[in-house]
Amino acid sequence: MFAYKRIVVAQHERGFLFRDSQLIKVLEPGVYRHFDPFGHVRIELHDLGQAVCANKNTEILMKGAGDLLSPYLELADMADNQIGLVYRDDKFIELLAPGERRVYWKLPYTLRVERIDLRNGLVVPKDLVDAVFRTRGGVVARELQPNIQTAEVMDHYVGLLLIDGELRQTLKPGFHAFWALKRHVSVEQLDTRIQAMEVQGQEILSRDKVSLRLNLGAQYQILDPVKARNRLQQPLDWIYRELQFALRQAVGSRELDKLLEDKERVDREVFDKVAGKAAENGFELCSVGLKDVILPGEMKEILNQVVQAEKAAQANVIKRREETAATRSLLNTAKLMDENPTLLRLKELETLEKVTDKVDRLTVFGGLDGVLNDTVKISV
């Protein structure tokens, strides 16, 4: 009885039967007995739950005993320019890199190996993207991270696809995936909305040697991302420097008084100098505005004194003008009264009315003539 070897192959297993290290049979699930008094027989059990055959010499065994193993195993051999997508029962399980070789069990699942030629494109097929990144919540995506480069271009952005540092194409908003084997894939994103830029804290000397601290605000928009990327290494840094240089030229060519009198002209000059260059590099300069002009402390005091003196002089001129107008009005009134006695009499009655408002009782003798003639007398 000890010369017989009992072998049990479970339902989820297959057995390789070796005699004198030579594969002679593949065992299906069941119980087997082999007469082996001298130990020439060896059994190797394999779990079909593992997609890849665990025997490291399987490829060699398939060459020597292909008829025995071909119903059970399949060799997936990738060329140097190919990527393999392995499916079991139409579910993605693994990605094979170029030049990689694997031996898979063909049962109890339906095995399918899809080969993709990298020379035909860079984009990962949409069905694979859906299977890997959508339905599985990114679990398999982490396994594929070294082989697939993904990018999610946000709304109002444009993506620039770079392959080994070369700009290949622009990407619309959405989710994108690219093969990243044997190449460096990266995606740069540029915002196409109107954006604000602040050029702050610029120390500039005016033409009359006054040190000023200025803040400039500007709005711009990227209209041609490809042109901006190809012509400029750092597009945003470039437009910042252009605004800075234009501001220095505009302020340095003006005296302080002229600058403070017409800041809008400075805005127009800066805009005109930068707008043309921006258009050549894919930008649109929407607006430019000088926000703050900060003066040194001593210069502030001097300007305040000048303003106070100017306002005082203006107030004095206005006061003298009003006094002159009042005197001229009195002179005209006196001439009218002198030429028209009735008007003078009416003025006397008006004065009498004002006097009676100020006293409690007024006694008049002589009747109406006494009121008209004796109460108020104006001697000329």
User: Whose structure tokens read 């993904």?
Assistant: 150
pLDDT of 380 reads 46
DSSP states of 340-353 as a string?
-HHHHHHHHHHHHH
Question: Is the pTM here over 0.75, yes or no?
Answer: no
Rounded average pLDDT over 49-68 = 88
| Contact present, 180 and 147 (Cβ < 8 Å) | yes
For 334-352, write each residue's pLDDT tens digit: 787 777 777 767 777 777 6
164: how many CB neighbours lie within 10 A of its CB?
10
Superfamily of domain 195-295: Band 7 domain (3.30.479.30)
Q: Taking Cα atoms as reference points, which of 57, 37, 49, 41 lies closest to residue 10?
A: 49
Give the whole-number percent of the chain exceeding pLDDT 90: 20
Strands (E), the chain: 4-9, 13-19, 22-27, 30-35, 41-47, 73-77, 82-88, 91-96, 101-105, 111-117, 148-153, 157-163, 166-171, 174-179, 185-191, 195-205, 211-222, 283-294
User: Whose structure tokens read 């005082």?
Assistant: 312
For 274-331, write each residue's pLDDT tens digit: 999 999 999 999 999 988 887 766 666 656 666 667 777 787 888 888 888 888 887 8
Tell whether omega for the bond before 108 is within 30 degrees of 0, i.e. cis. yes
Alpha-carbon distance of 31 to 149, in angstroms, equals: 49
User: Whose structure tokens read 């009198």?
Assistant: 261
Question: Residue 376: pLDDT above 60?
Answer: no
**Listing from the earlier edge strand, what are the strands of the sheet with 211-222?**
195-205, 211-222, 283-294
> CB under 8 Å to 253, separation ≥6 — which residues?
207
99: how many CB neighbours lie within 10 A of its CB?
12
For residue 317, give Cα distances in angstroms to 303, 326, 367: 21, 14, 52
